[in-house]
Every structure is written in structure tokens, then in C-alpha cells.
A and B are shown apart, each in its own frame.
Chain A
């Protein structure tokens, strides 16, 4: 009976792992590898690329055009990530500390926006911040402003749109790591005379670091490559990385350069994944015995 059970278990295991391998291999690994290969090819006259090897595409990444695009995108993505973190950390903390009966409802409120397409929510933002949007109408009605503020089609609008769209990606991993937090550790710190700030700095923050890193990755990468928010809310006057890549494929018909520039995104992804592994290992290694036994 027992052996039968375990062999069925291992069959299920093989099947489900094979499924994820298949999925990731077909839809994540294969396209990335193909894209990387295209980045080394030359731009074709009639085709999208021709099979002649070159490093020109990577050389172009060091040209002034791409560097300024990358610089602008990095600045915006870092700023959005930082603001998301500052807003989401206390939010997730309050969520984790909330009454367990109320918690699922609060979580639901974070998740509900996910059920609406983010493109639609981005268009909805126009109704809020446009020249005849709610913010301006309210400001005019209250006499706070005389002429409508120019919010839409500015860098601020792009930043606000990204922060709004990606905030849940920061809240959820933070919440997950805070929920696991053992309250007795904070109690022990208090008993030993640590103040609230000290407890936070030495106990809470280090233990939630994997959540912080995961949340930052989940916000930073999409905001670095996102093209529809800058196009809809920013008016496409400042080109960002996502639009640049999209244009190489659709407008300039320069697939190799598009592939090379998107490999920059892949590079960031790999670097951040390594960082995540590093921090979660460090946290696991430094964790007190009892907490790490719970992890096993």
C-alpha cells in the first residue's frame, strides 16, 4: 500500500515537473535563445535578418541614441521601484498584522485590479489626469487652479502610471515574506530591550529582505521594458527602452538591433535573479535555528 502510494506520487511528480519544463522550455527558454541568436545576425535587405554573423548590433548599443534611451528608462524604472517599495512596505506590514478575519478581504482589494486589463486601467488614468479629467475638474471647481494642469503626456504621468500599475507586484511578495515572520522573534528582541526601530532594523528588515528583492525585481523589470504606459500616458515624446525595442521590430524593421537591445533586458533579469538567490541564501543562513527548521 505504502509503496504503491509513493510510486504514484513520484509519477505525479515527474509529470508535473515535466509539464513545467515543457512550458518554460517552449515559451521562455527557446524564444530567448532564438532572440539572442538573431542579435548576432546582420540586418537583411528584404528579409528581417540574414545569416551573416556580426557584432555591429551590440556596438550600436554603445551609441549615444541607445545609451540615452537606456539611461532615461533606468532612471524611471528605479524611481518607480523605489516609490513602490516605500508605499508597499508599510502597506504589506499593516496587511500582515491585520485581523486574520479581515485579511482575505484586504488582500482581495489588492488583487481585484489584476482582473481588469492593465491597458484599460491605463486608459482610465487619462480620464483622471487629462485636461478635462477629474483631477483638473475638481481643482477648477474648488478654485485651486485657473487653467487645467498639464499632467497627461508628461514624465510624471508615466511615472504615476507605472507606480500605480506595478504596485501590487511589490505588495504581494512583501506580504508573503512578512506573513512568515515569526512574531516571537520581535517579542524576544523587545524583551532583550531593543526599541521598535532597532527591532525593525535587526529583525524585520533582514528577514523580509527576500520579499524586498523579489518585489523590486517584479516592479523594476516590467517598468524597464514597458512600452504601452509611456506611449499612452507619456505621449511618446521621450523614447524609452520598450518603445525603442518595439520600433526596431515594427517600424525600423531592424530585428537584429531589436534583439540585441532586448538582450539588455535579459541581462538585467539574470543579474537580478542572481541577486535574489544570493539574498535569500544569506537570510536562510543567518536565520535563527527555530525559524530555519520551520522552513525545512
Chain B
């Protein structure tokens, strides 16, 4: 019996502690906004300035992939976080699952700063749920020390045997399949089983040449010349080039893969008022400019783009011309076909 005494005690303690906890957690009225964003995306001093100006504390945490973000938001049933920054097709998914709420655009006065050509897209008609924060295009970076300019023009050129063991490939399933589908002349959103199979065969062949899979540290591997080439977001490339001037960049002839990351408001947001204040602050031209200059992604904020120094404004990689932008297709929701992608991806990743 004495052996059980500690167990009973533990249970009693649990009951005792369990009851008042929720009350304690909900009590203090603090002015804060809980933001869940990609890593390396908003400079810390921008967040600090927001708090200084409004008195709203920013509770900031980061993710490395849309999938991880989605799993967490879903697990919390849209609560706890206020503002999240998903990519295009995840805006669709979060909306379908009612994890985000419709926005009142009249409360976001700086919305008019945004580039109209990036608004009202298929993934969120009328921007009812999402406000673009940053955008860009995935192209191909390569090191001119090892690869002569002009050798690479197409995604298919990655299969070139001379590049064996010298490639870094994105670990993002949709991006990897996207470039494989483009290489085969298909849509990045293909749901045709035969086309998906073709793309997976392309990736299987490509895997033999891949030295490393990564998402967030792609630029480091290129800077340190661990690898010679690989798909990379244009903003990441511009940051990498500052550290290694031998790096060059191109949009493959089949087109790059464009993306947009947008602010959304979770369905269970506890600080709606503060979240609107935060989004509106981030859309100010001078704030958007600071974010753009720090991380070299393209801001959809036209007012901010106009404030750029002339050399950056004429940079065709930071601000690609209309031909790259119209040719490219956003990655969208593909419904059940995603299971097929995942199955193939798992096979490719476990392949020896």
C-alpha cells in the first residue's frame, strides 16, 4: 500500500494544479500580437520600432516550411497565433479548413500601396483572406568558377553528368516537383498521374547528382562552394552574391517558379485589433523598403519599390521583367493529387 502512496499523491497534485491553470493563463490584459513567420524574413529592428510606436509587443516565432507551419496552426485549431505568413497554396488550404478568417480590408489603409498585378489571384480571389508580404521567383544559381555562363539554360540541364554531386536541391516537395514538371513541359500544378510520374522519374535521375537537400540554408552551400548550382529564390541569391561574387543567376527558359507569401489572420486570433495594426504597419512604404533591403526579396509594395535606390530598382533579378513574371505560374492547391506527389517524394528521398 505504501508503494502506492506517492502515486495517489501525484494524482491529487495533478487535480489540484489542473483546475486553476486556465484562469491564470487568461487573466493579464497585455497588448501583444503573436506572429508566426518564415525565418529570416522581418528585421528585428522593424519589430522593435513597431513596439516602440504602438506599445504592442510582438511575440515572434518562425518556421522553415509551409508544411510545418500548417501542422502547427492546425494542431492549435487556429488559436494562439494571430498573424501567420503562408505561401499561396497554403492560403487556400488554411481557408478551406477554416483556420483563417476573412479580412476587413477597410481596416488596412496601406493596402493601396500594393502592386495590383499581384492582387486578386486564383489562390485568394479579391484578397478576402490574405495580404501579400513578399514575393519572388525561384530560378537557378550557379558558380561561374566551375560552370561557364551559357551552359545552363533549362531545368533539364541539371541532369548534365558533369554536375554529378555538385547540386543542391530544394527540400520543398512542391518546388522540387514544380521544376521537374516545368522541365517536362507540364504545369507546376499538374494532377495528371502520367505527368506526375514523368516528373518523379526526372527527380529520381536528378537525385543521383544531388549532394544535399535543403530549404533554408541553400545560400550557405553555394557561398562556401560546397555545391556548384541549384534552384534558389532570387532574393536569397542576391544575398549570397554579396558574399561570393562568382555566383550568377538565371531564369530557366521553361520559366521560374514564382511565390507569394501573405499575411493571414487566424480564425482563433485573440488580438485581432493588434494584428490589423501590425499588418498595416508592415505595409508602410518605408517599412517594406527596410525589409526588402535587408533580405533582398521583392516587395509587392509598389510605393516601397519606388523608394529603392536606382541601382536596385534596375536590378532584373530583384525586380524581374514582365516576361518572367507572366510566363510563370503560381503553385496552387492540387487537392488529393498531393498524396501522389508525397508518395513519389518519399520514394525519391529514401532511394539510395
- Residues of chain B within 8 A (CB-CB) of A150 are 165, 211
Q: Which of A63-101 contact B (CB under 8 A)?
A: 65, 68-69
- Residues of chain B within 8 A (CB-CB) of A145 are none
| A17 on the B face (CB < 8 A) | yes
Closest Cβ neighbor of A25 among chain B residues: B10
> What 0/1 pattern do residues 3 to 22 of B give for CB contact below 8 A with A?
00111011001100000000
Contact call B225/A239, Cβ cutoff below 8 A: no
> In the complex, what distance in Å separates the CA atom of A186 from the CA atom of B337?
69
Contact call B352/A21, Cβ cutoff below 8 A: no
Contact call B342/A249, Cβ cutoff below 8 A: no
Contact call B224/A131, Cβ cutoff below 8 A: yes
Contact call A46/B165, Cβ cutoff below 8 A: no
Is chain B's interface secondary structure helix, strand, loop, or mixed overall?
Answer: helix
> In the complex, what distance in Å separates the CA atom of A132 from the CA atom of B143?
15
| B42 on the A face (CB < 8 A) | no
Given known A-B contacts A22-B14, A252-B342, A17 and B6 have beta carbons under 8 A apart: yes
Contact call B10/A65, Cβ cutoff below 8 A: no
Closest chain-A Cβ to B227's Cβ sits at a distance in Å of 8
A-B contact count (CB 8 A): 80
- How big is the A interface, by class? 20 to 34
- Residues of chain B within 8 A (CB-CB) of A153 are 211-212, 226
| B48 on the A face (CB < 8 A) | no
Closest Cβ neighbor of B348 among chain A residues: A239
| A235 on the B face (CB < 8 A) | yes
Q: Which of A126-179 contact B (CB under 8 A)?
A: 126, 130-132, 148, 150, 152-153
| A201 on the B face (CB < 8 A) | no
Q: Which of B175-227 contact A (CB under 8 A)?
A: 207, 210-214, 220, 224-226
User: Which stretch in B31-39, B52-60, B66-74 binds the other chain?
Assistant: B66-74
Closest Cβ neighbor of B220 among chain A residues: A126
Given known A-B contacts A237-B212, A249-B71, A251-B342, A130 and B224 have beta carbons under 8 A apart: yes
Closest chain-B Cβ to A137's Cβ sits at a distance in Å of 12
| A15 on the B face (CB < 8 A) | yes
Given known A-B contacts A236-B212, A251-B173, A14 and B9 have beta carbons under 8 A apart: yes
Among A14, A153, A238, max chain B CB count under 10 A is at A153
> In the complex, what distance in Å separates the CA atom of A150 from the CA atom of B342?
30
Contact call A132/B224, Cβ cutoff below 8 A: yes
- Residues of chain B within 8 A (CB-CB) of A130 are 224, 226
Partner of A131, one of B74, B171, B225, B349: B225
Contact call A235/B10, Cβ cutoff below 8 A: no
Contact call B225/A46, Cβ cutoff below 8 A: no
| B347 on the A face (CB < 8 A) | yes
Contact call A252/B346, Cβ cutoff below 8 A: yes
| B97 on the A face (CB < 8 A) | yes
| B27 on the A face (CB < 8 A) | no
- Residues of chain B within 8 A (CB-CB) of A114 are none
Q: Which of B309-345 contact A (CB under 8 A)?
A: 342, 345
Closest chain-B Cβ to A124's Cβ sits at a distance in Å of 13
Partner of A238, one of B65, B74, B352: B352
Partner of B350, one of A21, A46, A152, A239: A239
Given known A-B contacts A18-B10, A22-B13, A22-B14, A251 and B347 have beta carbons under 8 A apart: no
Q: Which of B38-84 contact A (CB under 8 A)?
A: 65, 67-68, 71, 74-75
Interface residues of B, Cβ cutoff 8 Å to A:
5-7, 9-10, 13-14, 65, 67-68, 71, 74-75, 97, 165, 171, 173, 207, 210-214, 220, 224-226, 342, 345-347, 349-350, 352
Beyond the given A18-B6, A239-B349, please list 19 additional residue pairs across the A-B interface where CB-CB is below 8 A.
A17-B6, A18-B9, A18-B13, A21-B10, A22-B10, A46-B97, A69-B350, A130-B226, A132-B224, A153-B212, A235-B211, A235-B213, A236-B171, A239-B350, A247-B349, A251-B67, A251-B173, A251-B345, A252-B342
A–B Cβ pairs within 8 angstroms, 13 of them:
A18-B9, A19-B10, A21-B6, A21-B10, A26-B14, A148-B225, A152-B226, A153-B211, A236-B213, A236-B214, A237-B210, A237-B213, A251-B65
